[in-house]
């Protein structure tokens, strides 16, 4: 081989490397684009199937980061789920959930946390296990006001109770703020000693079990009123993806 031929071969070598690199890069990009098209739809199908949601359920799925390395490792770093109208465990609202360390071929999740926003009617249904006399409920941040009638001194008296909702150990906590009896505002401390029985209980903080309204693998960790909606913070047990029992509604202690 002459010096000229050797020189030409050396001159071509960087171009060969460049072409190979471009081809490999193209394959990586094509693979990433394919993964971006396939993975979210696959995750959506699995979620809809596991939660027994309608086939046409509106559910947005996002998988941040570069997917190919995650697919190779067998675990998605993060999956974000969002729906503006979904029913889970009998509660309907908008939901935003972020799960981490999601195994592709099945297994426990790392973590799963999110929020569920519900309207006044749905929030009212959560109070079915409370001792409050409820015929109407209104939400106005940061409080909720329930109205109804209470038997006092042998008469049905209109009652309006304003409470600040929160969460405690998975239960809904209602802290009284103000009370109206028969259209007149009364002092909570003063009235507590004047009425008895079930009526007196409305002047005290109440814990309301809502475990029977949620899948057993989901825990209420916080609750607040934003505008005219109640926003609940939730946390899911990582085993909810492998234990069917955690998808069934929980139970509340007998009264």
Q: Do residue 58 and residue 94 come from a single domain?
A: no
Domain count, the chain: 2
Rg, C-alpha atoms of the chain = 28
pLDDT at 199: 57
CA proximity to 42, closest of 10, 9, 79 = 79
Phi, psi of 153 (to 5 degrees): 55, 40
Tell me the two tokens of residue 150.
């209470």
More confident residue, 42 or 2: 42
DSSP 66-103: -HHHHHHHTEEEEEEEEEEEEEETTEEEEEEEEEEEEE
CA proximity to 139, closest of 81, 93, 195, 192 = 93
Q: Do residue 96 and residue 45 come from a single domain?
A: no
Residue 167 to residues 177, 179, 204, 224, Cα–Cα distance (Å): 16, 21, 16, 9
User: Is the pLDDT assigned to residue 201 strictly greater than 90?
Assistant: no
Q: Do residue 214 and residue 165 come from a single domain?
A: yes
Distance CA 104, CA 83 (A): 22
pTM for the complete prediction?
0.80
Q: Do residue 45 and residue 154 come from a single domain?
A: no
Distance CA 212, CA 129 (A): 10
Residue 118 to residues 15, 84, 139, 222, 228, Cα–Cα distance (Å): 61, 10, 11, 14, 9
Determine how many CB atoms are found less than 10 A away from the CB of residue 124.
Answer: 20
Residue-wise pLDDT for 111-140, tens only, equals: 999 999 999 999 988 888 787 778 889 999
Q: Do residue 132 and residue 51 come from a single domain?
A: no
Distance CA 195, CA 209 (A): 25
The whole domain housing 160 covers: 89-255
């Amino acid at each position: 081989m002459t010096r000229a031929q050797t020189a030409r071969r050396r001159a071509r070598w960087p171009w060969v490397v460049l072409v190979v690199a471009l081809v490999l890069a193209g394959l990586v990009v094509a693979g990433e684009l394919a993964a971006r098209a396939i993975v979210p739809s696959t995750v959506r199908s699995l979620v809809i199937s596991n939660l027994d949601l309608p086939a046409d359920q509106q559910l947005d799925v996002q998988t941040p980061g570069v997917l190919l390395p995650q697919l190779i490792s067998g675990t998605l770093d993060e999956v974000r789920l969002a729906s503006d109208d979904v029913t889970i465990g009998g509660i309907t609202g908008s939901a935003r959930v972020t799960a981490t360390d999601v195994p592709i071929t099945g297994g426990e999740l790392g973590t799963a946390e999110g929020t569920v926003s519900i309207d006044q009617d749905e929030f009212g249904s959560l109070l079915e296990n409370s001792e409050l006399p409820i015929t109407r409920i209104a939400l106005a941040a940061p409080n909720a006001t329930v109205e109804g009638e209470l038997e006092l001194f042998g008469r049905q008296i209109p009652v309006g109770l304003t409470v600040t909702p929160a969460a405690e150990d998975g239960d809904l906590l209602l802290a009284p703020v103000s009370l109206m009896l028969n259209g007149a505002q009364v002092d909570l401390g003063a009235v507590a000693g004047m009425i008895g029985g079930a009526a007196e209980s409305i002047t005290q903080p109440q814990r309301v079990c809502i475990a029977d309204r949620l899948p057993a693998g989901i825990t209420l960790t916080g609750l607040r009123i934003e505008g005219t909606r109640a926003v609940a913070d939730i946390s899911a047990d990582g085993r909810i993806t492998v234990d069917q029992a955690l998808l069934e509604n929980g139970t509340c202690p007998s009264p």
